[in-house]
Amino acid sequence: GAVVSQHPSRVICKSGTSVKIECRSLDFQATTMFWYRQFPKQSLMLMATSNEGSKATYEQGVEKDKFLINHASLTLSTLTVTSAHPEDSSFYICSASPREGLNNEQFFGPGTRLTVL
């Protein structure tokens, strides 16, 4: 149990286009989902925290107009990178925190590799 999926696993896009990444909790309801960014050989950097039905909370230095987060249901959160540029190329990882039970843990998706040309 407690599986989180991400789609797509890899995406290559042209500079200036927008890319949407989906994060789904497959077998539990998630009150909170997190979006992380990871540069090569570095740790995870928290970008934002989203709660179902409310606006995401962005970490300092993360542009909310560039990284749009929608947590429309208890099993789905999306991250849209708008007007992507090469510097946005990174590994994006989501995680989800269950609504009930297992309430000390986040469950991580497999990540999405974004390459902007």
Partner 1 sequence: AQSVTQLGSHVSVSEGALVLLRCNYSSSVPPYLFWYVQYPNQGLQLLLKYTTGATLVKGINGFEAEFKKSETSFHLTKPSAHMSDAAEYFCAVSDGGAGNMLTFGGGTRLMVKP
Which residues in this chain contact partner 1 in the complex, by CB under 8 A? 4, 6, 31-32, 34, 41-44, 46, 49, 51, 91, 93, 95, 97, 103-111, 113
Q: Which is nearer to partner 1, 82 or 115 (CB)?
A: 115
Q: Which is nearer to partner 1, 46 or 76 (CB)?
A: 46
Concatenate the DSSP letters of all residues of the chain into one string.
---EEEE-SEEEE-TT--EEEEEEESSS-EEEEEEEEE-TTS-EEEEEEEETTSPPEEPTT--TTTEEEEEEETTEEEEEE-S--GGG-EEEEEEEEESSSSTT--EE---EEEEE-
Shortest distance in whole angstroms from residue 28 CB to partner 1:
13
Shortest distance in whole angstroms from residue 47 CB to partner 1:
12
